[in-house]
Structure 1
Amino acid sequence: MARTTEPTVLVVEDETSQREVLRYNLEADGFQVIMAENGEEALLQVDEYMPDIILLDWMIPLVSGIEVCRRIKLRSDTRAIPIIMLSARSEEIDRVRGLETGADDYMVKPYSVIELMARVRTQLRRSRPASVGEQLEYEDLLLDAESHKVFRQGEEIRLGPTEFRILSTFMERPERVWSREQLLNRVWGRDLYVDTRTVDVHIGRLRKALMQNGGGDPVRTVRGVGYSLG
């Protein structure tokens, strides 16, 4: 039932036509897309889905894009999410303000969709390196996303596909605590109904596999919250 979930992009744009153009191109490029029409909705979507990257229009209702960016970058659990700000403001002072607020990139409208997709992929190499086939390392663990192999202290560990995705998620952001709901969205996909207890079952399988050669348990349970690596 489960499969590798594509990186999730939050599109924050109040113009319907712009949202749909971005949705179409992002989905065609293999991304999951969630959308928000205003700043308040955007902040709620961030809390619920913890997207991998955000495309954020500056001029949106209720809470401005610049303020949404500021709030996201102030929080320790969300500041690592890359934000590409989209704006009709083309003056240098506006670009500087956007970047100083915390935006990772800034594109002026009208923009090239092809260039935007390239910038999205560039930012994903930082936030979701496993999704672009890079190797991840944490202490004595090595995960090779391209060959779909995991090694601990140089010995290969065989994981099921779901356990591999969970470990990839952990290794992309070590020491971050993931709730069961966030892991469900990230690993199983937000459109599938899976009971949160399923997460505990697969975490147990992952722990058993990682400790099969006598190593310690690298997965930490945070009571009442969720799980993290380290």
Structure 2
Amino acid sequence: MLLRHSIIIHTTDPELYLILRYMLEQAGHNVGLLPSLDMFLPDDSKTQPQRRTVLICLAMDDLLRAAILVKKLQPDIRLIGFPLDCRMMDGVQSSIFDYVVRRPFDPGNLLDFLKYGLLRNTTAPTDPSVFLDDVEINVASVRVWRGGTPISLSPLHFRILLYLARNKDRVVSRDDLIRHCWPEDANVEPRTVDIHIGKIRRSLNRHGRDVIRTVRSAGYSATQL
């Protein structure tokens, strides 16, 4: 299922912008330039299609500052990081992004992410929604509802919940979650996984019972009634 995005690129490198714009437009996406973050206007989720993506191409420190600002303005927007230096992100930093471009830059990896709306090492969506009890996880719109009530999750939390739901009634290890839900080469400790699972639980449990079971010394399992 091809997902077409409206992509705005924030960068100080005009040549890189032109290369990315050509590549992305050839793949069928709409591309625009965001010269300054002061010009960023959040989507109105009631009127805008949920395919908007921000691609930030800056040196690492500026990249992280820009990403945090964009997420504050619109927490559920898709965010791609393109570091212009060779520094590595830790697990907390990389969790801000839906996708992080790695060096050497492989355009196919980025296009795969945009095509499927998920990380490349995640199974491509075949169904528009995945259900876990009364929790609906809509893959196409990257939205979650519980009993008809919208649940606000970060992109990382969406990926974790989706992976658990697709593997329900099976114990998923912390290493599995790190491998499938975090960007490649992210330095993530097992304790970090526990923290994010706790946040997902708090968001879901406001509207129903706990659907994520902790399996001591093994990992987590999504459970049905």
TM-score by length of 2: 0.45
- CA radius of gyration, larger in: 1
Higher helix share: 1
TM-score by length of 1: 0.44
